[in-house]
Amino acid sequence: MFLGRFLKYLGFFISESDTEENELENKKIESFFREKFELKKVTQEVSEKALRYDLTVPFARFVAMNHGKLSFPFKRYQIQPVWRADRPQKGRFREFYQCDADVVGSESLWQEVELVQLYLKSFGELGIPVKICINNRKILSGLAEYADISEQLIDFTVALDKLDKIGKDGVIKEMLEKGISQEAVEKLNFLFEGLSTKDTLDLLKEKFKGIEVGEKGIEELEFVLNKALELGVNDEVLVFDITLARGLDYYTGAIFEVKAQGIQMGSIGGGGRYDNLTEVFGVKGISGIGISFGLDRIYLVMEELGLFADNKTPKIEYLFANYGDEEATEAMKVIQK
């Protein structure tokens, strides 16, 4: 199913090495290595390696290395394992498969709209009811500027990203521990009030007067929401979530997170726009956007929803009694049908 959808929306398949240079940690992709698996002393001659954390950073490296040969916008899909130094439990793995879809070389917001459609079509065919949460990193940057904590943007977004896990009090506690002032926390308290999309946007427009990055984030968000609505996407399925942060700090625009409705499971998809990632590898000016499907969690969700029931795939089993070469020949003929 995924291959059929990807061939329709994307077209190119690529595959990458399972390891990445550990020195990327020094190139300001801090969150990329937050839960990395390091491989010490691979050899005495080569640089230190780490098992691949995601598929986006390796893809950015691929684009940087081959940008002179690619035709932009370049669309690709990729299905490979990734690794996390995590504590295994239900829905959390040290090794799992990601299925990524990315478009690079285009700043058009229609790419965001198209990837939302890819999500909905894919999960619709699987029979999984989902909610797609959307936010914009420019809005988060605007909030940081509004609260006078622009220098602590990463600390702010990393703490906010944990809201589902540790709750409002836990997020506020972590912000304070990271040195974010009580005054700033109070200015941001409205984030936790659960306002409607309209009320939240109206409030943001008021607070962002004169904050250019925040105003740009609202403009981009409204474009995606409005165009998706015009194309028939239910506004209860694609939902603005102002607390959505996505811990990876290479995102610069729209960010997404997908959850299965009615199932206690972490996100089964996520992604966003990244404008500066190829710059880490020496090539500037190539904007990209990508989404990911977490195949292992999707499998667990489908199991819980009973989408693998026996009556979904009826089968007939045969037992052949082999009494000699003639009977074996007939049995082999049947098996090959």
Q: What is the pLDDT of residues 282-300, one digit of tens each?
A: 999 999 999 999 999 999 9
Where does the pLDDT of residue 20 fall: very low under 50, low under 70, confident under 90, or very high at 90 and above? low
CA angle 215, 218, 219 (to 5 degrees): 85
pLDDT of the residue at 142: 98
pLDDT of the residue at 249: 79
3-state secondary structure of 287: coil
In the chain, pLDDT over 70 holds for what percent of residues? Answer: 83
- Residue-wise pLDDT for 170-221, tens only, equals 999 999 999 999 999 999 999 999 899 999 999 999 999 999 999 999 999 9
CA dist 137 → 220, 224, 330 (Å): 10, 14, 65
Residue 212's Cβ-side half-sphere holds a number of Cα atoms within 13 Å equal to 0
Residue 255 has pLDDT above 50, yes or no: yes
3-state secondary structure of 156: helix
Residue 31 has pLDDT above 60, yes or no: no
Calpha distance 337→331 (Å, rounded): 10
| CA diameter of the chain | 88
CATH assignment, 1-128+262-337: 3.30.930.10
Residue 327 has pLDDT above 90, yes or no: no
pLDDT of the residue at 33: 47
pTM of the model: 0.83
Domain boundaries, the chain: 1-128+262-337, 130-250
- Fold agreement between 1-128+262-337 and 130-250: yes
* CATH superfamily for domain 130-250: Bira Bifunctional Protein; Domain 2 (3.30.930.10)
Q: Work out the average pLDDT over 73-93.
A: 84
